[in-house]
Amino acid sequence: MSADTYLELVNGGVTGTLAKKLGLPRPTPLRRFTPGQALVDGPVLVLGPGKDADTLARYLSGTDDAGAGWDLDVRRHADEGTRFAAAVLVLTEVEHPQDLSAPLLALSAVLKTLARHGRIITVSRPARDDQAPALAAARQGVDGALRSLAKELRGGATGNGLVVADGVPVDAPAVLGGLRFLLSSRSAYVDGQLLAIDSEAGALPEDWDRPLAGRVAVVTGAARGIGAAIADTLARDGATVIAVDVPAAGEALTAVANRVGGTALQLDVTAKDAGERLLRHALDRHGRLDIVVHNAGITRDKLLANMTPEKWESVLAVNIAAQLRINEALLTSGELTDAPRIVSLASTSGIAGNRGQTNYAASKGGVIGMVRATAPLLAPFGGTANAVAPGFIETEMTARMPTLTRQVARRLSSLQQGGQPVDVAEAVAFLASPPAGGIVGQVLRVCGQAMVGR
């Protein structure tokens, strides 16, 4: 991977001062998670009227028995001079757009002193076509306000939201798990996103540091890059990992498997019996299979006018057809019955498109459609299917881009830098965790709020 030299320079002494004088973009190096790190470094402001705000304030402060162990310094008012590490706006009870004024204007008073790497999180309800116009307007207004605010934040701070379905309490596992993920530095490169929570399903872990303890996970394309980071992160969170990649990557694959204390399986995911072989390996070596991460993917970029059948078909075969075939084998096996999780790697290209990537975008758009349709099939077992859509991530693939193109791509996001493979891995680990059981058929973008798509 190539280093972001510009990011290093504008945060240096003399060059940083010069960049400031010239008015150049000065992205802040992001704080990423390390074991033992505090959830937040400073007070947390909880704003909003009504019982939902009270419930979350009690939970975050640890005064609610269920929230024991969080023990955050929670404030309910924006005290002048306080440097807040995070602010949670609980907007579940708004009924008219004017109801947004008080909490958002109260938040405005603390934004200038928000701590570096601060977090702004909204908790709201979804707008629907069958609602009264004023109610739908208020709820949809949260979306626009949050996405705009996220573009105003500086110093590595991010703004994200949880959209909680009507009837789902704000202390449901997926709400609390989502809140913890977004508050933490695990979500360093997630910005300007609203994650829908559809049900009360899921469970809070006994140990938030090892939420995947006792679970067995398969990660395809695990020999390097994002796949290797996913294997590392799932293992850190307690999972036993089966690392999968093609035979040609055997040496690197074995190294990853040994590093995470898992097992390696050399397998071409496009093989017709790939699903059966994955399952057989998991059952024979580990006795179960709980999590499937479809990370394996390829690019064969060409303008459609110059596209060859081989380039088109190979991308579709690896990136989507293999996932469909493997999922069918697993879902019909009768073995995925204990709150299974399927997490697939999509892409912002599959959402917004990208020049020269019609084949790749078709495959990644296909992934998004696939998880939405697969999620209901897993629901009877307490399972979920979701996708993570990375934006510009610093990998071997992006390192091969032309220098100018790479620099432009890095700056075209609110955080003005590329993400790291671990950023994608953290999102995958969250969606694979027990608390995420109420998140179904969703796409979580990990793109630093890229200026493409939503």
User: What amino acid positions are annotated as catalytic residues?
Assistant: 360
Q: Which residues on adjacent β-strands are paired with residue 394?
A: none
Burial class (CB in 10 A: 0-12, 13-18, 19+), 276: middle
Task: Give the number of other Cβ atoms within 10 Å of residue 173's Cβ.
Answer: 22
**3-class SS shares of the chain: helix, strand, coil, % to 5:** 45, 15, 40
CA atoms of 130 and 141, how far apart (whole Å): 16
Burial class (CB in 10 A: 0-12, 13-18, 19+), 404: exposed
Rg (C-alpha) for the chain, rounded Å, is 22
> Which token pair is 153?
């934040």
Q: How distant, in Å, are the alpha carbons of 61, 99, 100, 297 from that of 103?
A: 20, 8, 6, 43
CA atoms within 13 A on the CB side of 278: 38
Q: How many residues does the chain have?
A: 454
The bridge status of strand 194-197 relative to strand 158-164 is parallel
DSSP state letter for 236: H
CA atoms of 416 and 232, how far apart (whole Å): 26
Q: Which residues on adjacent β-strands are paired with residue 88?
A: 46, 121
Amino acid at 449: Q
Q: How distant, in Å, are the alpha carbons of 2, 67, 80, 144, 154 from that of 46?
A: 40, 15, 15, 20, 20
315 touches 360 (CB < 8 A):
yes
DSSP state letter for 384: E
321 touches 362 (CB < 8 A):
no
